[in-house]
Structure 1
Amino acid sequence: MPTTLLNSELPGLNLIHRGKVRDVFALSADELLIVATDRLSAFDVVLPDPIPGKGEMLTQISNFWFDKTAQVMPNHLTHKSVASVLPHGVDAALYARRSVISKRLKPVPVEAIARGYLIGSGWKDYQASGKLCGITLAAGLRQAEQLPEPIFTPSSKAAVGDHDENISFDSVVATIGAELAEQVRTATLALYRYAAAFALERGIIIADTKFEFGTDVDGKLYVMDEMLTPDSSRFWPAEQYQIGISPPSYDKQFVRDYLETLGWNKQAPGPKLPTPVITGTAAKYAEALQRLAQIQLD
């Protein structure tokens, strides 16, 4: 059965970051232990209720994609045993499927977003300006329409509780330099194209997704953190896709849609979720994992 973990507690290990979903512990100068909890964020606010098994599903789908795309882009995984680094007395089963030991990299301070379809904030931007994150698009495009080519639309990396802001490619260059900016853009689009084609064969459209990258001491670029999960991507069932509407989704749009009915101001603290929303969200994550990776967590 899936386990439930809201906050990881690992006495003796150095917690260096508690994010919206992941808790990161330093193991050495070269390695980290990354734990995906069952926390859920929406509109950049961490909600009070966990989604049971979510962290396990996120980790399993990320690991699936890291393995699938290793020939496209190197990643942060070391494939070392998590059980070997857990403190004495900790329930290893609680952490086994939600944790990885990774290379300790220097994060690139940019959210690397690839968009293949006109939806979400991109659709709103296009309606208002005819542009998507500053990139001029053809006139007459409709909601959820596939773009002629995937585009790179970076954003800033906000702290927990703050909101990411769309930025231009020139801003990325100014932040990290032209060479690294071009590497990030190229890798983002290559990973998206590969994954989108693979997923479509399994009946899932990846409308857009977000990657995070880091560099090692030699400046080599790696994809890291999570990859092509329902938290970082917009997944649509291909058989229900229609242009002109916001298609049903496997991601946390299910939760966002519920929250939009509450009149909540989208500031912390977030509202509690009713049981049907919690179980429905877990079921959507599980279905995406099954359809994409043929993995079922019993």
Structure 2
Amino acid sequence: MDALTTVQLPGVPKFSSGKVREIFDLGDELLIVATDRISAFDCVLPTGIPDKGKVLTALSVFWFRFLEDLTEHHLITADVEEFPPSLRQFRDLLDGRSMLVRKAERIDVECVVRGYLAGSGWREYKSSGSVCGILLPEGLREADRLPEPIFTPATKASSGHDENITFGRVADMVGEELAEKLRDRSIALYEKARRYAEERG
């Protein structure tokens, strides 16, 4: 079984290519196709993992459906039988790894919520005692659970490295009201997902 690392749909215009996903323009809608590419530490690795895109899509669809009572989302369907007729010829390629979505205005902020001190948050904490401008208690160790979840946004880079930013910078970018909405909704989504995962070990 070969990994699918590139996707071409002849006759369907490509909107953009991300680190892992390819996006095609269908007019009022977009088709998001998850490839089997691997992105680690903001770098795309040269080999893929067969069917990784199908796993990513199944996870995305689950969480969109599970969390839709807290926020609107762009997902219309992941069922290829419900895709536009023009895509039927690509059914075998798209099945299980693609989502038909509504076009929406993108906000160039990656909304990250941390419940544990790890990754870039841990590195920032070691050097400054804070993460994204949020001062944390002294003496925390890597992977410690935080007293409460924190909103640690980042820039959303289409290539290269995402950069952690402060809430104040988000407010400067999108306005205070939208920044607060992004923060509060992100934490609510995290809390619901955390409870679900905790109940299942």
Q: Give TM-score scaled by structure 1 length.
A: 0.64
Q: Mapping of 1:38-57 within 5 angstroms?
A: 38-57=36-55
What is the CA-CA distance between 1:116 and the residue it aligns to?
A: 0.2
- 2:101 aligned partner: 102
Identity of aligned residues (%): 48
Counterparts of 1:13-52 in structure 2, within 5 Å, are 13-28=12-27, 30-52=28-50
Matched, 1:175 2:173: yes
Name 1:7's counterpart in structure 2. Answer: 6
Q: CA deviation at 1:87?
A: 4.1
Write the mapping of 1:277-296 to structure 2, written as runs, cut at 5 A.
none
Q: Which amino acid aligns with 1:6?
A: T
Give 3-state SS (helix, strand or coil) of 1:106's partner: coil
- Alignment check: 8 A CA contact 1:114 1:189 kept: yes
RMSD of the alignment, in Å? 1.6
Residue 67 (structure 2) aligns with: 69
Cα pair 1:3 1:94 within 8 Å, conserved: no
Which amino acid letter does the alignment assign opposite residue 25 of structure 2? A
Q: Distance in 1 between matches of 2:136 and 2:79?
A: 47
Shift of residue 80, structure 1, vs aligned partner: 6.7
Verify the 8 A CA contact 2:78 2:98 in the aligned structure 1: no
Q: CA deviation at 1:119?
A: 1.1
The 5 A counterparts of 1:199-278 are 199-203=197-201
8 Å Cα contact 2:30-2:100 kept in structure 1: yes
Letter of the 1:147 partner, please give it. L
CA gap 1:150/1:93 in 2 versus in 1, 3 angstroms:
same
The one-letter amino acid of 1:59's match is T
Question: Is the CA contact (8 Å cut-off) linking 1:12 and 1:87 kept in structure 2?
Answer: no
Deviation at 1:158, TM superposition (A): 1.5
Measure the CA separation in 1 of the matches of 2:62 and 2:88. 29
CA distance in 1, matches of 2:2, 2:177: 43
CA drift at 1:97: 0.4
- Using the TM superposition, give the Cα deviation of residue 88 of structure 1 relative to its aligned residue in structure 2, in angstroms: 5.9
Letter in 2 for 1:20: K
SS at 1:93 equivalent: helix
Could you tell me how far apart the structure 1 residues matched to 2:154 and 2:88 are? 41
Equivalent AA in structure 1 for residue 93 of structure 2: L
Report the number of matched residues.
199
1:98/1:82 Cα in 2 relative to 1: closer, same or farther (>3 Å)?
same
1:156 positional shift? 0.9
Q: Deviations over 1:136-188 (max 9, x none)?
A: 1111112211101100001111131x211111111111111111111111111
Counterpart secondary structure, 2:112: strand
Provide closer, same or farther for how the CA distance between residues 3 and 193 of structure 1 changes in structure 2, counting only shifts above 3 A.
farther
The reply on whether 1:198 has 2:178 as its aligned counterpart is no
Structure 2: runs of 5 or more not aligned:
none
